[in-house]
Chains A and B, each alone.
Chain A
Amino acid sequence: MTILQFFLWSLLKVIVVTVVLLTGVAYTVLLERKLVGRIQNRWGPSRVGPFGLLQPLADGAKLFLKEDIMPTAVYRPLYLFAPIIALACALISIAVVPFGSPTVTGPGGFHLFEISDINIGLLVILGITSIGVYGIALSGWSSNNKYSLLGSLRSSAQLISYELALGLSLVGVVLRAGSLNLREIVENQGAHGFLSWNLFGGFQFVAFFIYLMSAYAETNRSPFDLPEAESELTAGYHTEYSSMKFAMFFMAEYANMIMVGCVATLMFLGGWTSPFGDLIPLPQNIVIQSLLPIFWFVLKVFSFLFLYVWVRGTLPRFRYDQLMNFGWCYLMPLAILNIVATSLWLAY
């Protein structure tokens, strides 16, 4: 395969994946509004298009056309740069996620359902997530607003604390797979359907619980949404942002949710593999063969997002000291114990 072919294929994959991801972001917002509406015994958006399905388009158009207000006392370079960092970091990490079966390849053995196959894929995701903190931290500081600053300080402290528990919770899975390559981690769980998923057969349910909790905290979602607690901080770090700059933070948050769902799917729920294993024989048709894994992957990510919204509609917000206490005193030791237990299990 020539360099040019490689370049064109990669460009095509990047464009398709980005468009799908951004559409996913828009419809996750709709999913959240609909579901929270039903949980609170109301309809949610229902006017624009059938069942309110065109609502994200209307929202997007509205945000595009709004006046972009620039407060006078902001530190301009960082104020403009912060939403770009937040959104860019949220979108980049999707590059290492394998969506579909690696057996179906394009011309020249080219992987169709993964932008790049990296042997340290998991570390790349963790690294990019850790850079994403700067978007929130800098936006709060450069806004020159007390609410924003408090929101971003809370957020940075929260992200640093829960990143430890999040990273440690994934170590058990990495130990089981013996690799940091996301594809190998998925293939390691694919043998017997859902029985061999890390969540069930791998006995990593403690790790999954820790991951779930820290993922909610990492994405600033309820019940850990203290950086933007409306009752205390108006809107937290993005108080001073309007129009598309606000929309970029919003998109970054939902893209991060999807990303976290993808990682959970890959690490604990068997990625693109079928939950029924070989019970249902794969049809010979190449199109179905390539689309079915994607269907399973999307279904798993969707159920994760559903859980996200469900939790938001159910649980009240934590207090800040409770949040820190929970992260450092319970999740971290639990994650370390899980690593020790998994290592012992693997050794004997």
Chain B
Amino acid sequence: MHLILFIVFAAFCLAGAINLLLQTHPINSALSLIVVMTSLAVLYLLLGAEFLAAAQVIVYAGAIMVLFTFVVMLLNAGREERTLGSKAATVVGFPAVVALLAVIATVVLHTQSGGAAFGDNLSNQPGSTNLEQLSTVLFTNLLLPFEVTSVLVLIAILGAVALARPHDQERTPGE
């Protein structure tokens, strides 16, 4: 059952990702990205990380992608034009992708042969939910990185406000 679901949603995920690249209309690309995000959420669910799956749907598919489509709709962007692409991208890109996949595959295989499967620490402990374990890890072992990340997000927000604020000379005298 798990295997069937995995195959179906992994196929969805890959199809969405490929479709994202092939579509010429921005809104279709954005929608394909939503398909990718939600299929990823199902894959998380199959791994027993239900909180991560819900967060994936709420944050990525629900909030960030709504902003994407919102911007596409607001600008009413037209079709993108097909170009042949640069030669450098072809020459460097394909070997780079192969190298990257090789590195990831090596790491994954190495971890698996080491005996500890992924997600061993997160799920399969009776009497304790995913959410509790996740928050325990976040607020004890990883407290400092977690808080530093929040400062980082705050800086990003301040930067966005500074960029979006109207400049002094553009202001109307009434303000």
| A142 closest partner in B (C-beta) | B27
Using Cβ atoms and an 8 Å threshold, which residues of chain B touch A128? 57
- Residues B54 and A124 in contact, CB atoms below 8 Å apart: yes
Check: B159 CB closer than 8 A to any chain A CB: no
Interface size on A, residues (CB 8 A): 27
Check: A296 CB closer than 8 A to any chain B CB: no
Query: Which residues 149-177 of A have a CB within 8 angstroms of B?
Result: 149, 152-153, 156-157, 159-160, 163
- Residues A120 and B54 in contact, CB atoms below 8 Å apart: yes
Given contacts A120-B51, A123-B51, A134-B66, contact A141 B58 (CB under 8 A): no
| B69 closest partner in A (C-beta) | A137
Interface size on B, residues (CB 8 A): 22
B58 is contacted by which of A78, A130, A156 (Cβ under 8 Å)?
A130
- Residues B34 and A134 in contact, CB atoms below 8 Å apart: yes
- Residues A137 and B131 in contact, CB atoms below 8 Å apart: no
Given contacts A78-B27, A120-B50, A141-B27, contact A127 B69 (CB under 8 A): no
Query: Which residues 56-76 of B have a CB within 8 angstroms of A?
Result: 57-58, 61-63, 66-67, 69-70, 73-74
| A174 closest partner in B (C-beta) | B131
| Least Cβ–Cβ distance between B141 and chain A, in angstroms | 22
Query: Which residues 26-56 of B have a CB within 8 angstroms of A?
Result: 27, 31, 34, 38, 50-51, 54-55
Check: A95 CB closer than 8 A to any chain B CB: no
Check: B129 CB closer than 8 A to any chain A CB: yes
- In Å, the complex CA distance between A141 and B38 comes to 22
- Residues A153 and B63 in contact, CB atoms below 8 Å apart: no
Which DSSP category, helix, strand, loop or mixed, fits chain A's interface? helix
Using Cβ atoms and an 8 Å threshold, which residues of chain B touch A227? none
Check: A48 CB closer than 8 A to any chain B CB: no
Using Cβ atoms and an 8 Å threshold, which residues of chain B touch A120? 50-51, 54, 131
- Residues A130 and B67 in contact, CB atoms below 8 Å apart: no
Check: A263 CB closer than 8 A to any chain B CB: no
Check: A119 CB closer than 8 A to any chain B CB: yes
| Least Cβ–Cβ distance between B43 and chain A, in angstroms | 15
Using Cβ atoms and an 8 Å threshold, which residues of chain A touch B69? 134, 137-138, 141, 156
- Residues B51 and A157 in contact, CB atoms below 8 Å apart: no
- Residues A130 and B61 in contact, CB atoms below 8 Å apart: yes
9 contacts between A and B (CB under 8 A): A118-B50, A120-B131, A126-B54, A130-B58, A138-B31, A141-B73, A153-B73, A156-B69, A156-B70
Q: A179-B129, A180-B131 are in contact. List 7 more A-B contacts (CB 8 A).
A: A78-B31, A118-B50, A127-B58, A140-B73, A141-B27, A156-B70, A159-B66
